Structure 1
Amino acid sequence: MVDTQLTPLSRNRNYTILWTSQLFSELAGEITQIGFPLLIMLSAGSPLEMGVVSSVLGFAHMVAIVPAGVMADRWDRKKVMLVCQAARTAAVASLAVVLALGVHPFPLLLVVALVEGFLGSVFDPAEHAALPQVVPEEQLSRAVATNTARPFIATLAGPAVAGMLFTVHPMMPFAAEAVVLGISLVSLVFLRLPRRVEAPRPSVGVDLLGGFRWVLGQRVIRTTLLWMMFSNLVFSALLVVVLALSGEDEVAPGEIGFMMTFLGAGGLLGGLAAARLHAKFPAPVLLLGFSWTAAAMVALMAVVPAGLPLGILLGAAAFLLPVANTTVMTYQMMITPDELRGRLSGVAGFCSGGAGALGPVLGGALTTALGGVTGVLVCAGVLALVALATTVSPTMRRFPTA
């Protein structure tokens, strides 16, 4: 039973600060994702240079994410977040200043990409681990549900803002990103986290291995990590396949952009509804429902016309994603001791991030070898196998309802 005397999340000062700072952090990341390619194209850079920058971002993320979980558990989480945002702000601001002078140095772009990828990854586990410190257990599922809507807000706003500002001047997206990160930094100054009990800590290596052992030793968490990995792998591959299919059918660029907007809108609406659905339905119903519905939606994508109908199906599939994520993440946070939450976030981020990085490569290979329609059907088939495995798994069928 939820205590009616609890302060609503909207009036929880520390939760609001944490949520807002992470929103601005994610918005900055989305600006980077579109700003870097546009800058390289403007300076007559090659596709290879675009690939190198994207690889540096991805490499820095993967290198940082697991050690970042250890940092979030060993060090003061507020200080970790402050240092990350201060360094990111300085790096992006330096790029904006150089661009304002009319210089487009590719080496500096690589350095900024390295800083952004690395410190953005260090910031995330500290923020995730701090969430249960500022939200009572009775409100944790609602807070997680609200958080799942946040990346879709950034996805809807970031690329559009970056594109419009770039037409004014190439330095403008990066100046705006520096301002956004500065706002995140200033807001974190006012964050108050409960004091954590200091205890003797083993070496960093022992902490790192201990975190892996604990996370992978939890049967439910281990099973959900596999479920998340395969789901992310297929969805990240599917996006490339869908874009290629739209190109095969000669869909106009504007319609493709609007089609992808449905994806962000569906995820945002799902995030807004996640808390209510999480409270109304048992966890296994939500997880099984997402798995089978996603497989069905993707199968339909092979037979509907490319363009807006495809976008509507993408939005429908994205709607249930935050609901499923809320169910999984709430349980993970509730059973994980505070001193291990950072490492949980790091391991989960490594698994889902690795799948997300590999998916586009597989999607491109699928489309090249088999074509867009067959590629969609392969994605649907793999999702059906994931749904079947979810159905027959005793762990998923009896997933605890938090």
Structure 2
Amino acid sequence: MVPTSQGAPAGGWRTFLALWGSQSVSQVGSYIAWFALNVYVAQTLYPDPAQKAPLALALGAFAIAVTLIAVLIAPVAGSVADRFDRKRVMLLCNVLSGGLTLGLAALMVGTVAPLWLLIAFVVATQVLTNIHEAALESSYAMIVPEAQLTRANGMMQTTRQFSSLLGPALATLLVGLPALLGASSGSGGWLSGLRDGVPFALLVDGVSFLVAGLILSRLAIPSPPPAQPHGSAGANLRADTRLGWTYLLRRPPLLQLLVVAAALNFATAAIPVYQTLLTTFTLEPDRAARGLSFAATLAIIQTVTSAGMVLGGLAISTWGGLKQRRVLGILVPALVSGAGLILMGLSGNLYLTAAAFALTVFVMPITNAHSGGIWQAQVPRELQGRVFAVRRVVARFTVPLGMAFVSGLSTVLPPGPVIAAMGLLVIVICGAQLLNPTVQRVEDREYVEGLAAARGG
């Protein structure tokens, strides 16, 4: 099937900017709420030092729920994105997420929310978030001119990075708001009855969902014709999942591009773990010579890494990416990431290691933006939900695998060489694909569809 060639509607870029702005507000709210929930678990549910084990289990349950939902719900989310009006799907997810969040905020004002309820809340909102993401990502090509797809993806990447930096800071302010206002007013009034400001943080998140939904309701976002029904919901899901995999298996250039993304995710997913391991072991002599504590050293590395990621997002958003041979915008930055991993693994100098982290993450938004642009341009719009579901499953499944692999191997080997080996893996795979003529023609639609036709369509 040849991708549809219809262009974006008039004013499509303005529509995207409004959509991007509303989703940016919602993203910040979500990071605020996530940080506040972790504070709530640590300070309200398990504040006693003797409760270290249940606290660790509770926080681990949050992380596991997010990871599992992202993998398990991807086929369902992709099917929904291709079978229903995508604007309505996004709008419904925003409204339901806002209602759930405001409901939990109201509950926390009067009582202590138990852990099981918080886990149920995380599961429900993550399901909605993943369905919303599938509909949103599949809508770019419906409103954004093809030449601007890389820029659009870069802008979304930048929003996520800014939100991850801004969210915790705002959450900290909101969580401490009752104590701050109570101290300034003396008696504190009704605020003195609140244990903390976590409900305020959830209130901000809930309102941000509703604001995003309100703006979305005013935008014109077309949807392609719905997918052909196959009977029951289960039959639809099985058919949709099979179609997504079949589509990729018959198109080697896209499949091999997915292998590159999987390898990169596998190698870079554990960057937070790399930071802690290198600070603890590899950099111990250097930080001792500089008179720096473990916390100060880790803070330097994390700050420089965050700055690198944000600057990378700003760079691709401003530049807009390559207009031709966009595959080079994936492979060349990925090679740079691999070199950065090797450098951070072999370096024993704090500032050189920090620079290596910054370099590695600086090019990640560039790689992701070009990748998103190619996939959105090449995959037919009416199939993007189902095909992108496969892409998300593979990408997200490699994240916990990479973290488990590095963490496990570092228990028996020094972390530096392990990290350098991960960088070498990236360079070997990306270097091979850089020389692979099949991958180099991934943007040649006639070539890709010709390969698919030879394999059965």
TM-score by length of 2: 0.78
Q: For residues 278 and 97 of structure 1, do their structure 2 counterparts lie closer, same or farther at Cα, with a shift above 3 Å needed?
A: same
| 1:299-323, Cα deviation, whole Å (9 max, x unpaired) | 1113445655433322212222222
| 1:274-317, Cα deviation, whole Å (9 max, x unpaired) | 26373377435433322321122111113445655433322212
Q: Distance in 1 between matches of 2:204 and 2:403?
A: 28
> What SS does the aligned partner of 1:171 have?
helix
Aligned: 1:229 with 2:238: no
Moved more, 47-56 or 258-267: 258-267
Contact 1:284–1:397, Cα closer than 8 Å, also in 2:
yes
Q: Which residue of 1 aligns with 2:249?
A: 216
Counterparts of 1:195-274 in structure 2 under 5 Å? 196-197=224-225, 200-203=228-231, 204=236, 205-248=238-281, 249=284, 251-253=293-295, 255-274=297-316
Contact 2:85–2:223, Cα closer than 8 Å, also in 1:
no
Contact 1:18–1:127, Cα closer than 8 Å, also in 2:
no
| 1:23-69, Cα deviation, whole Å (9 max, x unpaired) | 23433443344333322211214211211122122222222112101
| 1:258-279, Cα deviation, whole Å (9 max, x unpaired) | 5323333323322333263733
Q: Distance in 1 between matches of 2:342 and 2:81?
A: 41
> What SS does the aligned partner of 2:221 have?
coil
Aligned: 1:115 with 2:124: yes
Tell me, which stretches of 5 or more residues in structure 1 are unaligned? 1-5
Counterparts of 1:156-171 in structure 2 under 5 Å? 156-168=165-177, 169=196, 170-171=198-199
| 1:109-129, Cα deviation, whole Å (9 max, x unpaired) | 011111122111111010011
Q: Which amino acid aligns with 1:400?
A: E
> What SS does the aligned partner of 1:34 have?
helix
Aligned: 1:179 with 2:180: no
Q: Distance in 2 between matches of 1:371 and 1:164?
A: 39
Q: Which residue of 1 aligns with 2:17?
A: 16
Q: Which residue of 2 aligns with 1:63?
A: 72
Q: For residues 61 and 288 of structure 1, do their structure 2 counterparts lie closer, same or farther at Cα, with a shift above 3 Å needed?
A: closer
Q: Distance in 1 between matches of 2:262 and 2:34?
A: 22
Q: Which residue of 1 aligns with 2:404?
A: 361
Counterparts of 1:17-166 in structure 2 under 5 Å? 17-42=18-43, 43-44=45-46, 45-166=54-175
Q: For residues 215 and 278 of structure 1, do their structure 2 counterparts lie closer, same or farther at Cα, with a shift above 3 Å needed?
A: same
> What SS does the aligned partner of 1:278 have?
coil
Moved more, 83-92 or 188-197: 188-197
Moved more, 75-84 or 310-319: 310-319
Tell me, which stretches of 5 or more residues in structure 2 are unaligned? 1-8, 47-53, 178-195, 288-292, 446-457
Question: Which protein shows a greater Rg?
Answer: 2
Aligned: 1:321 with 2:353: no
Cα shift at 1:195: 5.7
> What SS does the aligned partner of 1:270 have?
helix
Cα shift at 1:176: 2.2
Q: For residues 124 and 210 of structure 1, do their structure 2 counterparts lie closer, same or farther at Cα, with a shift above 3 Å needed?
A: same
Measured on the aligned residues, the alpha-carbon RMSD in Å equals 2.7
Q: For residues 372 and 159 of structure 1, do their structure 2 counterparts lie closer, same or farther at Cα, with a shift above 3 Å needed?
A: farther
Q: Which amino acid aligns with 2:386?
A: R
> What SS does the aligned partner of 2:112 have?
coil
Q: Distance in 1 between matches of 2:29 and 2:404?
A: 25
Q: Which residue of 1 aligns with 2:454?
A: none
Q: For residues 38 and 362 of structure 1, do their structure 2 counterparts lie closer, same or farther at Cα, with a shift above 3 Å needed?
A: farther
Identity of aligned residues (%): 22
Q: Which amino acid aligns with 2:252?
A: R
Moved more, 245-254 or 183-192: 245-254
Cα shift at 1:229: 0.9
TM-score by length of 1: 0.88
